[in-house]
């Protein structure tokens, strides 16, 4: 900014960095607005690395001390035709024009050392009151760019802000415009909204909006699992569960979707088995997240967490080890310490405290098994297929069957995980079979 000033241009920090600074938070990234045209910016920063793929819209990203600073010429946006992008942008000479095109009052402030905070729309007051409010007429602003709907919910959730009444009304009214927005963009905002500190409140207040993105949520809203007397709806359970998990995308998404099949499951009478509802929910979650163009690795993780969230643990140590063998040690710990914990904590039933205590025991077991390197899968056995074959066992499918029997026996404590003991145990199995 000093450099631009010294060359005779105006320059201001704008957007999120000003908002966060005024809230006493660190900035995620820095944006600078200036009356210098892109060519001048490039000249002034000729000695710096620059990125110019946004230059048509007036943006030159200047890398300063390794930090990318998006430096954009003051601009006003032309007409919007597709609910997302302006048809054209034109450069202008006034900061006020540039701030007017920004989405919310808290995002429409500027700062420079010389002029201090510039706040034409009452952004500072809205920060103090904790309000997300559109700059200008909400209907117009959401009509221009419907992604702003998701941005409003994201900021409300992340900062624990309310959405100002008129803005909120307009969001409900215009929610279907989200169908014009690309899945990738919606997904990025959704994940941030879910990881916010007020995710449950925002999910509940704008559940109709979230149902535009994820239609499968709607049947959960007024669904009582065990009839009207059950003390909370499936939806209430789902959003409480979101709240109880750590703010990580895979955990929050898993909690939001972990029971999503329960409405259809009950209808088709398939709910009797817990594992069936978990599996069905995992499949639905997979389809939803694929539609939202979420990264494949994250989809697989969420599906795994949901699939095993209700894994039966009544077998004590053995069942914890089996879960570990099935999903991997770290995933098992995640399921016990986060997913299962959030699920139980979000229930509304008597006996919850006792179930949480039991869960803590399973979690401690799991940690202990991880740190002592206990055998939970075939690779942890003190013997492998080649050992068996060289001891005279018939190769092929048979080897897998024997190794699995050995693993079962080790997990249940029927044989020690030592080469010699395992071999003689395997001999016994073979002899029994031959008998």
What CA–CA distances, in Å, run from 242 to 151, 158, 278? 19, 14, 17
Q: Which stretch binds ligand ATP (CB under 6 A): 47-55, 103-111, 165-173, 210-218?
A: 103-111
Residue from 31, 98, 126, 164 binding ligand ATP (CB under 6 A): 31
The minimum distance between CB 106 and ligand ATP, in angstroms, equals 8
Residue 313: closest CA among 370, 346, 362: 362
285-289 contacts: CB < 8 A, separation 24 or more? 285/253, 285/254, 285/257, 285/258, 285/260, 288/214, 288/216, 288/257, 288/260, 289/253
Residue ranges in 204-223 that form contacts with ligand ATP under rule CB under 6 A: none
Strand arrangement, sheet containing 30-34:
49-51, 59-64, 67-73, 30-34, 11-14, 110-112, 116-118
Q: Which stretch binds ligand ATP (CB under 6 A): 28-36, 319-327, 330-338, 390-398?
A: 28-36
399 binding ligand ATP? (CB under 6 A): no
77 contact choice in Mg ion, ligand ATP, none (CB below 5 to 8 Å, kind-dependent) = none
Residue from 6, 7, 23, 29 binding ligand ATP (CB under 6 A): 29
Distance CA 86, CA 82 (A): 8
Q: Which residue has the tokens 């202990």?
A: 368
Tokens of 28: 């995620």
Tokens of 25: 């938070």
Distance CA 318, CA 195 (A): 34
147 binding ligand ATP? (CB under 6 A): yes
328 binding Mg ion? (CB under 5 A): no
Do you know the residue count of the chain? Answer: 435
The minimum distance between CB 183 and Mg ion, in angstroms, equals 22
148 contact choice in ligand ATP, Mg ion, none (CB below 5 to 8 Å, kind-dependent) = ligand ATP
Residue ranges in 127-146 that form contacts with ligand ATP under rule CB under 6 A: 145
Residue from 16, 143, 219, 380 binding Mg ion (CB under 5 A): 16
Report the residue number, 18 or 422, with the smaller CB distance to Mg ion: 18
The minimum distance between CB 17 and Mg ion, in angstroms, equals 7
Distance CA 390, CA 392 (A): 5
- The residues binding ligand ATP (CB under 6 A) are 15-16, 28-29, 31, 102-103, 107-108, 145, 147-148
- The residues binding Mg ion (CB under 5 A) are 16, 29
């Amino acid at each position: 900014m000093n450099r631009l000033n010294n060359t005779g241009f105006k320059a201001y920090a704008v957007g999120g960095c000003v908002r966060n600074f005024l809230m006493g938070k660190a900035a995620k990234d820095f944006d600078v607005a200036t009356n210098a045209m892109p060519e001048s910016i490039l000249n002034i920063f000729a000695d710096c690395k620059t990125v110019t793929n946004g230059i048509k819209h007036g943006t030159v990203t200047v890398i300063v001390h390794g930090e990318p600073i998006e430096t954009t010429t003051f601009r006003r946006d032309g007409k919007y035709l597709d609910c997302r992008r302006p048809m054209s942008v034109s450069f202008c000479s006034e900061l006020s024009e540039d701030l007017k095109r920004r989405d919310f009052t808290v995002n429409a402030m500027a700062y420079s050392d010389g002029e201090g905070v510039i706040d034409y729309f009452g952004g500072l007051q809205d920060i103090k009151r904790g309000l997300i409010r559109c700059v200008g007429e909400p209907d117009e602003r959401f009509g221009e760019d419907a992604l702003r709907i998701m941005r409003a919910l994201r900021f409300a959730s992340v900062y624990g802000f309310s959405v100002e009444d008129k803005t909120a009304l307009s969001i409900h009214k215009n929610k279907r415009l989200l169908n014009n927005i690309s899945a990738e963009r919606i997904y990025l905002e959704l994940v941030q909204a879910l990881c916010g500190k007020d995710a449950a409140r925002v999910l509940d207040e704008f559940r109709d909006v979230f149902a535009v993105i994820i239609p499968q949520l709607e049947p959960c809203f007024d669904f009582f699992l065990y009839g009207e007397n059950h003390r909370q709806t499936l939806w209430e359970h789902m959003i409480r569960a979101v709240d109880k998990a750590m703010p990580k995308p895979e955990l929050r998404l898993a909690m939001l979707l972990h029971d999503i099949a329960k409405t259809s499951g009950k209808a088709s009478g398939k709910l009797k088995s817990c594992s069936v509802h978990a599996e069905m929910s995992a499949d639905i979650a997979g389809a939803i997240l694929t539609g939202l163009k979420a990264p494949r690795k994250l989809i697989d993780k969420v599906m795994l967490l949901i699939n095993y969230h209700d894994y039966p643990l009544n077998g004590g140590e053995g069942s914890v080890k089996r879960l570990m063998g099935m999903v991997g040690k770290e995933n098992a710990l995640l399921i016990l310490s986060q997913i299962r914990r959030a699920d139980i904590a979000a229930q509304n039933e008597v006996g919850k405290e006792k179930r949480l205590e039991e869960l803590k025991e399973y979690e401690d077991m799991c940690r202990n098994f991880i740190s002592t390197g206990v055998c939970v899968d075939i690779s942890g056995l003190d013997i492998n297929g080649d050992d068996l074959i060289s001891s005279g066992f018939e190769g092929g499918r048979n080897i897998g069957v024997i190794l699995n029997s050995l693993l079962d026996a080790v997990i249940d404590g029927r044989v020690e995980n030592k080469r010699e003991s395992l071999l003689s145990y395997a001999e016994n199995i073979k002899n029994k079979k031959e008998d």
